[in-house]
């Protein structure tokens, strides 16, 4: 399709679609985004509420599901702050200093991001399992990690460890250390520099990373399913509970749990887009 160059050269607003091609592309984007993204989301929510809000609520307050929600939220409460702390330390280290072995360190920060979550479960089983590397030793001290909530926390820590660092490093790299150095020359100590100079500069990116980290902790399935032991009402997180309900032939219950997670996902997206505007993404 040909556009007349004379028309196209002086558009009133360059971003207002002018041509049929443009509208065609937009239409295609509507269609694909609708079919690929919106419809699955709607399906989950519609099916979850298919039998009415009452049935939905009844499914959610079912003790095992309620416990799964509780455990999932608890995992987020435990894991996200730790990885926020780690992310800040790692980003500060990587962007403010030059040192030997930095490349290796960065590789280790990145690895959990690109490895299959099943591998995350496997490595923890081989480390802390009863027949693993450290498991027998810990058992002597009566420390039990596998198939407890601790194992769930640990694999979640592993899987989401890069999320905050990943947001902070490019930003802190770009901002450079000049502000901090200026503060230093004015006599500020490390803590003051961090709280009054660095943190205000990175707070939105930090939150953004935390939101992504949170979403992943809540949704992690593969790694958790290896180390959970699937004790009902004990070590079942919400995503595992969905599979369990599905296998119990309780499809409505599975969709009720799933739609709870889907609503959380929508909330995450809204929060994320608000933060994106703040960070100027």
Partner 1 sequence: MTSLDTAREGPRAVAFGTRLPKARKPGRRHLLPGFGLTFGITALYLVLIVALPLAAMLLKTFSLGWPEFWRIVSSPRAISAYWITFSSAAAAAVFNGFFGLLLAWVLVRYEFPGKRIIDGLVDLPFALPTAVAGLALVTLFGPAGWYGQVLVPLGITVTHAQLGIIVAMAFTSLPFVVRTVQPVLEDIPEDVQEAARLLGATPFQVFSRVILPLILPAFTTGVVLCFARAIGEFGAVVFIAGNLPGMTEIVSLLVFIRLDEHNYPAAAALATVLLATAFVTLFLTNLLQAWQLRYADKSR
Partner 2 sequence: MNKLFTTAVAAILLGTAPVLAQTTEILNVSYDISRELFDAVNAKFVPSYKASANADVKVNQSHAGSSKQAGLILEGLEADVVTFNQVIDVDTLAKGEFVTADWKSKFANNASPFYSLPAFLVREGNPKAIKDWADLARDDVKIIFPNPKTSGNGRYTYLAARAWATEAFAGDEAKIEEYLKKVFSNVPVFETGGRAATTTFVENKIGDVLITFEAEVLGTIKQLGDDQYDAVIPSVSLLAEFPIAVVDKVVDKRGTREIATAYLNYLYSPEGQDIAGSLFHRVHEAAAAEKYKGQFPEVRLVTVEDVFGGWDKIKADHFAEGGLLDKVFVNQ
Q: Which is nearer to partner 2, 145 or 206 (CB)?
A: 145
Instruction: Give the footprint of partner 2 on residues 190-229 (CB under 8 A).
Output: 229
A 10 A CB-CB count for 60 gives 17
**Which residues have a Cβ under 8 Å from the Cβ of 236 and sit 6 or more positions away?**
64, 67, 68, 71, 228, 230, 244
Q: Which is nearer to partner 2, 8 or 251 (CB)?
A: 251
Q: Is 67 in the site for partner 2 (CB under 8 A)?
A: yes
Site map for partner 2, 89-128, x if CB under 8 A? ------------------------------------x--x
CA–CA distance, 257 with 250 (Å, rounded to integer): 11
The option from partner 2, partner 1, none interacting with 231 (CB < 5 to 8 A, set by class) reads: partner 2
Q: Which is nearer to partner 2, 74 or 274 (CB)?
A: 74
> How many Cα atoms sit within 13 Å of 113 on the Cβ side?
14
Q: How far is the CB of 153 from partner 2 (least distance, A)?
A: 9
Q: Which is nearer to partner 2, 118 or 231 (CB)?
A: 231
Per-position b or e across 152-170, b if 16+ CB within 10 A of its CB: bbbbbbbbbbbbbbbbbbe
Q: How far is the CB of 11 from partner 2 (least distance, A)?
A: 53
CA–CA distance, 237 with 65 (Å, rounded to integer): 9
CA–CA distance, 151 with 126 (Å, rounded to integer): 12
Q: Which is nearer to partner 2, 132 or 177 (CB)?
A: 132
Q: How far is the CB of 71 from partner 2 (least distance, A)?
A: 7
Among residues 85, 87, 245, which one has the least CA distance to residue 162?
87
The option from partner 2, partner 1, none interacting with 19 (CB < 5 to 8 A, set by class) reads: partner 1
End-to-end CA distance of the chain: 33
Q: Is 129 in the site for partner 2 (CB under 8 A)?
A: yes
* Maximum Cα–Cα distance across the chain: 82
The answer to whether 109 and 90 have CB atoms below 8 angstroms apart is: yes
Q: Is 272 in the site for partner 2 (CB under 8 A)?
A: no
Q: Which is nearer to partner 1, 2 or 140 (CB)?
A: 2
Q: Is 43 in the site for partner 2 (CB under 8 A)?
A: no
The option from partner 1, partner 2, none interacting with 163 (CB < 5 to 8 A, set by class) reads: none
Tokens of residue 23, six digits: 């509208």
Residues in contact with partner 2 by CB under 8 A are 67, 70-71, 74, 125, 128-132, 135, 139, 144-150, 229-234, 246-249
């Amino acid at each position: 399709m040909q556009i007349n160059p004379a028309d196209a050269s002086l558009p009133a607003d360059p971003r207002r679609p002018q041509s049929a091609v443009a509208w065609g592309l937009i239409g295609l984007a509507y269609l694909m985004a609708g079919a690929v993204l919106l419809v699955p989301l709607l399906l989950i929510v519609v099916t979850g509420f298919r039998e009415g809000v009452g049935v939905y609520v009844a499914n959610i307050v079912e003790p095992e599901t309620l416990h799964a929600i509780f455990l999932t939220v608890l995992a987020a409460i435990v894991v996200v702050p730790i990885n926020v702390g780690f992310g800040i330390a790692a980003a500060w280290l990587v962007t403010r200093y030059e040192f030997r072995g930095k490349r290796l360190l960065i590789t280790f920060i990145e690895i959990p991001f690109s490895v299959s979550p099943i591998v995350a479960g496997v490595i923890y089983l081989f480390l802390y399992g009863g027949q693993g590397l450290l498991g027998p030793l810990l058992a002597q001290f009566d420390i039990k990690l596998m198939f407890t909530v601790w194992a769930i926390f640990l694999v979640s820590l592993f899987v989401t460890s890069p999320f905050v660092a990943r947001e902070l490093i490019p930003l802190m790299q770009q901002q450079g250390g000049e502000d901090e150095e200026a503060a230093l020359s004015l006599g500020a100590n490390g803590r003051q520099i961090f709280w009054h100079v660095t943190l205000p500069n990175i707070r939105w990116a930090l939150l953004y990373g935390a939101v992504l980290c949170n979403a992943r902790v809540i949704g992690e399935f593969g790694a958790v399913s290896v180390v959970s032991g699937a004790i009902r009402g004990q070590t079942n997180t919400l995503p595992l509970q969905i599979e369990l309900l599905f296998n119990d032939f309780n499809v409505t219950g599975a969709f009720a749990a799933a739609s709870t997670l889907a609503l959380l996902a929508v909330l995450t997206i809204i929060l994320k887009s608000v933060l994106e505007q703040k960070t100027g993404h």
